[in-house]
Structure 1
Amino acid sequence: MFLPAGSQDETGVQIANRLKASEIFRKVSEKRNFKAISTPVVEYAHTFTNEIAGMDLQSMLKWFNSEGEIEVLRPDWTAAVARAIAKQHQSFQKWSYQGSVFRMDKDGTENRQAGIEIVHADPFLGESECLLTAIQYLKEIGLEEYVIELGHTAIFEQIIKPLKLDLKEEEALRMAMHDKRMDLVEELLSNYPEEIKDALVQLIDAYGGSDVITHYEHVWANQPELLAILQHIRQLINLLEATGVSEVIVDLGRVKNLPYYDGIMFRGFVTTDGSTCFSGGRYDRLYKQFEQETSAVGLAFDVDQLALHMETKDSLTKACIIATPETHSIAEKYREDLPEDIVDIQYHVHNEAIYSAIYTVILDNNQYKVVKR
């Protein structure tokens, strides 16, 4: 039978790497005092589509339950965790999770994630801990070729504030910025002040190292709100560089890709192919639906991508014991003599080259024993 679009079978290395990545994440997050949390894979759609969370129902796998309510397969961990911990005591701040999300607007319907959420903490502490946890985790799984990107939702929002756009106009402009479409930005703002249009068009190319921040500190010298954002980003860059991370870039023209983001945003890219290995950011406003004014920040790792980029190592050698139905039990007992090996029992071997050693069960003086060939 064929599979639905977005579904796929997996075997071997990808699964092994993903399991290894999962176990390393559990250890790293536990040692950094994150408390594990799990939410149901089936949730009410409203958890993700309410006015504050703002996610698009069209991209979700959904159905009507017997009571006429729309249920979905979990499309997002952050909104689900927020629902789960909203009534928890605020003394505990750090949460970690592992599991799949399901979206129809991705290359694969199912995407395995591991992530962290830090709530009710000092804002800079939360952001720092997110990024430093990401750095440690990538180091532990052996991924060294990556770059961290920083952005901020309020830059775009502050610049367009004088335009007083309606929601539809703002979203169209946001998408044009997201897609780096200078021509479309100019078209959408053709009837608005030239200086704002030019500022946004130039912002699309505001991408690179800390020199970009230096440049915009001069450009925005008379705009204290934007200068404060630049100072915030520079402070994070200084922290990362002080811990030995040199590959940090900024994208001042980046806009939020999830409606509930409302502050600093960060992503990690694998430098060998440009794929995203983690993403996240600040989302304080998400907790307003629970009548809470608090700080909240988190990030999620794409475990499928991490598994693809992990170096595959055979930690154990592979041995084969050739037996028969009558001698199978003898071969099984011999496993204890090969504790450092993967042991495969076969009756016939078609490809000896895949084994580092081959053993045979023989009869010697009316006694069975296992000998190496």
Structure 2
Amino acid sequence: MFLPDGSQDQIGDSLLKKQRVYQIFTDVAIRRGYKAIETPVIEYAETFTNPHVGIPFQQLLKWFDREGDIEVLRPDWTTAIARALMKLNPKESKWFYQGSVFTQDKDGVESRQAGIEMIRTKPIEGEIESLFFAIDYLSAVNIDDYLIELGHTGIYEKIIEPLMFTTTEEKKLRQAMHDKRQDVVKALTERNQTVQKQLLDLIQAYGESSLLDEYKQIFKDETDIVAILDELQDLVNVLKQLGIDQTIVDLGRVKQLPYYSGTMFRGYLTQTGDECFSGGRYDKLYQQFNQSTPAIGLAFDVDVLASAITIEKKEKIAIIASSETYVLAELKRRTISDKIVDVLYTFPTDNAYDDIIDLRNEGVE
């Protein structure tokens, strides 16, 4: 039988690496004081398509239930966890999760994530903890060649205020900014040349953190934007104090989901350029529950991290047993630790083992 497009089986080292990434993530999260949370893999579509979340309906894997309501496979952990926390109302504020999300906007419909969510966290404190967690975790999986990118939703949003765009127009502009399509941005902003120039310049505002000082001068009369740039500079300084110099900024970055409302960050593997984590502040998400709850989180791409790590090869031992010595062979296996031990009943014909212990005639008269 064949699988649907985008689905895949997993075997061998690839699966073991993913399990290793999950296990180390759990260890780091528990050590840093996070509590585990899990949501159902099946949810109602409205949880993710409402205006506060805004995941496009066509990206969801969906069907009708027996009552005619639309159900979906979980496309987003952050939204699902927000729903669960509002229902369960726990006192804890630091949560971790791991598992799959399902969307139709990638090559594969299933992708594996491990992440953290923090609610009731003040600005800068939550950002610092999120980035420190990322650094701690990447170190634990022996990945040290990466780049951290910082951005903020507020710069773009402050600049476009004079445009008075409709929702449709703003969505087109946001997508053009995300794709760094200068031609589309220019066409959409013809009505205001000042804003047009600022946005076109912002598309190019990507690179070393020294850009922050440059743009403080450009926007010196915009106190809200200067405050945002100061916040990003504070994060750069904190990371430097921790010994992390691989920090860049993308001042033209825009949010892809409506609930992001502040600082955003991403991590990239230097050798491949693959995005290994992403996240940010999403204080607006809880408004759908009539709550004003500051929140922040980040998610790691387990598939990317698994492809980047190596699993230590253990010595492989074969114990050769007979029908008279299989109990003896099992007892011998239990005395050998930190090695892979196979009990065989025929002598191996390949070179798959580092050592062979022959117990076929041991103790047999």
Pairwise TM-score range, normalised by the shorter structure: over 0.9
How far apart are residue 64 of structure 1 and its match?
0.5
2:52 is the alignment partner of 1:52: yes
What residue number does 1:108 align with? 108
Distance of 2:110 and 2:261 partners within structure 1: 26
Residue 351 and residue 48 in structure 1: after superposition, are their counterparts in 2 closer, same or farther (change >3 A)?
farther
Number of the residue aligned with 1:155:
155
Q: TM-score, structure 1 length as denominator?
A: 0.94
Deviations 1:135-172 (A, max 9, x none): 10111111101111011111111111101111111111
- Matched residue SS, 1:117: strand
Q: 2:332 aligns with which of 331, 334, 338?
A: 334
Change (3 A) 1:102 1:194: same
Per the alignment, residue 203 of structure 2 pairs with: 204
Please say if residues 90 and 120 of structure 1, whose CA atoms lie closer than 8 Å, have aligned partners that are also in contact.
no
Q: Which residue of 2 aligns with 1:270?
A: 269
Unaligned runs of 5+ in 1: 368-373
The CA deviation string for residues 104-138 of structure 1, in whole angstroms up to 9 with x for no partner, is: 11122111111111111222211111111111011
Whether contact under 8 Å (2:264, 2:279) holds in the other structure is yes
Partner residue of 1:18? Answer: 18
For 1:238, what is the secondary structure of its paired residue?
helix
The residue type equivalent to 1:69 in the other structure is D
Q: Separation in 1 of the partners of 2:214 and 2:362?
A: 83
Q: How has the CA–CA distance of structure 1 residues 336 and 213 changed in structure 2, closer, same or farther, with 3 Å as cutoff?
A: same
Do structure 1's residue 166 and structure 2's residue 166 form an aligned pair?
yes
Show the counterpart of 1:122.
122
Look up the match of 1:289: 288
Pair 1:363–1:349, CA change in 2 (3 A): closer
What SS does the corresponding residue of 2:210 show, helix, strand or coil?
helix
The amino acid across from 1:335 in the alignment is R
Q: Distance in 1 between matches of 2:100 and 2:181?
A: 32
Give me the CA root mean square deviation: 1.6
| Higher mean displacement: 341-350 or 352-361 | 341-350
Distance in 2, matches of 1:43 and 1:362, equals 56
Moved more, 61-70 or 351-360: 351-360
Structure 2 distance, partners of 1:240, 1:271, is 17
Gaps of 5+ in 2: none
- Indicate the percent of aligned positions where both proteins have the same amino acid: 48
Q: What SS does the corresponding residue of 1:100 show, helix, strand or coil?
A: strand
Aligned residues: 365
Secondary structure of 1:362's aligned partner: coil
Task: Write out aligned runs for 1:83-94 (5 A).
Answer: 83-89=83-89, 91-94=91-94
1:352 maps to 350
Q: C-alpha displacement at 1:326, in angstroms? A: 5.1
Give per-residue Cα distances to partners, 1:244-300, cap 9 Å, x unaligned. 111011000111122211111000000010101110011111100111112110000
Q: For structure 1, which segment, 51-60 or 76-85, has the greater mean C-alpha deviation from structure 2 after superposition?
A: 51-60
Matching residue of 2:252: 253
Q: Per-residue deviation at 1:237?
A: 0.9
What is the alpha-carbon distance in structure 2 between the residues aligned to residue 264 and residue 301 of structure 1? 17
CA contact 2:176–2:182 (8 Å) conserved in 1? yes
